[in-house]
Structure 1
C-alpha cells in the first residue's frame, strides 16, 4: 500500500512538473490569448487600443531618418452644436481636423494623448490599397484582373481560387467568412486567436474552402480579403508589407514616431487591421491622400489610383454605402468625399472639395448599433461645412 502511494505521488509530482513546464513554454501564447479575450472589455478597451504591442507580436514600421513634417496650426475652430454629446456617446479618444493643411482642431479624450499610437483596425486596409496602387504603377503587379493565385499559389484549390485582385479589393470575392465580432466562434474571432497564439494567417486563409457566390457578383465585407491582397503583394515582390510600406509611404511622410504592425507567428503583418500610429501621423498620411498623392511636389501615390480606388466600384446594394478599393464612399457623397473606417470608431474622413481631413479614433463598444456610422458621417460633414 505504501509503495502504491509513493508511486501515485511520483505520478502527481510528474504531472505537476509537466504542467509547469508547459505553462512556462506557452506562457507568451497564453498571455496573448488572455489579452485577446479581454481586449474589448469596458474597463480595458481605451488602454488596450493605445498599447496593442503589449498583447500581440509586432513589427516596427520605421518613420525613416528624414525631418518631421510639421503640420501648422491655423485659427481656432469651435466644433458645431452637438459635437460634445457625440464625442461622449461615441467614446471618441482623439479628434483632429485639418483644413487646407492646417490643424484647426485637435483634442484627446478618455485619458489618451498625442503620443499614443492608436490601433487603426480597418483603416489599415486603405494604407494597403495605396501601397498596391504604387506597385501596380511600377508594374510589379501586372493587372487588377490577374487571378490572386498567380502571386499567391498557396491559395490554389481553396475558396480564393478563381478570384481576381480586383475582386478582393472590392470585397467581392464571394468567400464565406463570418465577421461577427460578438460571436466567439465566428471566423473573424477564430482568426484573432490564430494571431494571438502565434499561428500563421497564410495557412488560415488557404484553408478556407467555401464560397457563397461567384467572385465579382456580390459585395460582402470580408476582412480576410485584405490579407489576400497582402499575400499578392508579398508574392509579387518577395518582400514584407512592413518594409514596403515604410519605404514607399511612411518614410516620405515625415512622421513623428515609428509605427508598428501586429503580426502573426511567422512575422507576417496583420494588414487587415493591425497598423498603429499617432493621430497626427494618421493625419499626415490623410493629407497626402487629400492632395491626390503629392507631398512637397513629389508624387508619392499615383493620383489616378486614388481617384479609382475611392470610386464606388464594388457591387454594393442600391441605396447603401458605397465601396471602392478598400475605401468607403458615403451615401449621397459629392465628388472627393470618401473615408477610411475601422471598427470601434476609427475614421479618416475626406472632403477634397473643401480641403478637409478629419481623423477620429475611438473605443465605441456600441459601434455596430443601427445608425451609428451614419451619425458619425453626419458629424464629420457638419464639421467640414462649418470650417
Structure 2
C-alpha cells in the first residue's frame, strides 16, 4: 500500500527540488495532542494537509468515479437562528465552514466552499473516520473474517487478555459500552484522548493497545455508555488483524475504489504506523457526501452487498438512547442517531448527515474555534434542518 511519511527535512529537500511554490507554503503545524489547540491559521492549512503533519496511509481510488450530477433545481436555504436571519453564506462565514455538499436523490442540490478551499482539496475528518471504521467491521463480518459481533475483542487483539477488556465484545466496542474507564476531555491535554495516541507503548506492541490494556474497569460491559476514541482505534486494529491487511487497503478494496470515490483519501497513522480507526481521514467534500450516499443506498456497490444483510439499519439505530433535549437522540455502531436520520460526526465541525426517508445527504467541513460545544452543534443542526425544509 502507498504510505506517506513527509518529515520537515523531506519538505525542505522537496522545496529545493520544486522551486518557489513550495517555499511559499507555511511550515506544518505541530502534531499530536497539540492539534487540539491550533490557531485559526494553523487549522486552515493543517486540516487541508494532515499528511504533512503526521505519517499517513493512502486509500487509493479506483479507475472510475461515481458521478454526482447537478440537480436541475438548486436550493438556497434561509432560516432564523437565535433570532437572527441566516443564509448559507452567513452561516459558513460565522461557523468557519470550508465546504457544504448536499445530495438529494443522489444529485447535488447545494455545493459551496469557504476558507479559500477548492473542490479538489481534501479536509480532515476527525471522528467521522469512526463511522467508516464501523462500516469496515461490517464488511469483515460479511467476508467471514470477524465471526460475530458477540465475539470477545481479545480474540482479535490477544494483548488485551487478562485486563479490563476480558468479556468485552465487538458489539460493546461499537456501542461505546465496554465499561472501561476513559476521559474524552478535548480541553485537557492530560486526558486519555490526548495521551493515548502519543504515549510510548510496550516494546513490540502497538502503543494504543498498550495504553488501553492498562485502563481500569468502571462498569460491567454493556451497562454504561462512555464515548471513547481509544476504543475506535482498537476497532481499527481489530479489523486489520482480522482481515490480515492495512485498514487503508481494505477500505480501498471494499468501498473507495469500487464505489467510485473521486480522489485518493489519506488516513493518519498512530505512532506505530497503523491507521487510526478513530480519527483523521482526509478526503474531498464530495467524497464525504459519497460516504453518506453509500449508506443511504444500503451499503451496496453496483448492486452487490458490501455489508451483511440488515447491517445499515442495525448500525444506524439507537442501541443507546440519550435524554431528550440534545442534538443526538442515541448512538448506534459509531453512528450518532438524530431526528429523522443518523450522522457521522467529528470535532471542529465535521459531519455527514443522512436522512434515509428523504434520500438526503448533507456533508459539512469546518474549522470551529472549539473542538466541541453544544451551541456549535446546535447551530449546525439548525442548518441541516433548514436544508431539509428547502428540499421538501
**TM-score, normalised relative to structure 2:** 0.84
Query: 3-state SS of the aligned residue for 1:43?
Result: helix
Which structure's CA Rg is the greater one? 1
Compare the two structures and name the one with the higher helix fraction.
Answer: 1
Q: Please name the residue that 1:230 is paired with.
A: 236
Structure 2 residue aligned with 1:376, among 354, 373, 380?
Answer: 380
Q: Please name the residue that 2:331 is paired with.
A: 323
Query: 3-state SS of the aligned residue for 2:78?
Result: coil
Q: Please name the residue that 1:19 is paired with.
A: none
Is 1:149–2:154 an aligned residue pair?
A: yes
Structure 1 residue aligned with 2:188, among 152, 173, 183?
Answer: 183
Is 1:129–2:139 an aligned residue pair?
A: no
Q: Structure 1, unaligned stretches of length 5 or more?
A: 1-22
Give the length in aligned residue pairs.
352
Is 1:59–2:57 an aligned residue pair?
A: yes
Q: Please name the residue that 2:170 is paired with.
A: 165
Query: 3-state SS of the aligned residue for 1:134?
Result: helix
Q: Please name the residue that 2:300 is paired with.
A: 294
Q: Structure 2, unaligned stretches of length 5 or more?
A: 1-7, 13-26, 80-85
Is 1:34–2:30 an aligned residue pair?
A: yes
CA contact (8 A) 1:328 1:338 kept: yes
- Following the alignment from structure 1 to structure 2, what is the Cα–Cα distance between the partners of residues 235 and 43? 38
**TM-score, normalised relative to structure 1:** 0.85
Per-residue deviation at 1:51?
0.3
CA contact (8 A) 2:29 2:42 kept: no
CA contact (8 A) 1:144 1:164 kept: yes
> 1:31-76 CA distances to partner (integer Å, 9 max, x unpaired)?
9893443562222111110000111001111112x21112100122
> 1:299-348 CA distances to partner (integer Å, 9 max, x unpaired)?
33345100000000126456653100000012xx23xx111100000000
CA contact (8 A) 2:122 2:282 kept: yes
Is 1:212–2:209 an aligned residue pair?
A: no
Closer/same/farther in 2, CA of residues 385 and 301 from structure 1, 3 Å limit: farther
Query: 3-state SS of the aligned residue for 1:70?
Result: coil
RMSD: 2.3
Match runs of 1:1-387 below 5 Å? 34-36=30-32, 37=34, 40-64=38-62, 66-74=63-71, 75-81=73-79, 82-83=86-87, 84-194=89-199, 200-302=206-308, 304-314=310-320, 316-317=322-323, 321=328, 322-330=330-338, 333-334=339-340, 337-387=341-391
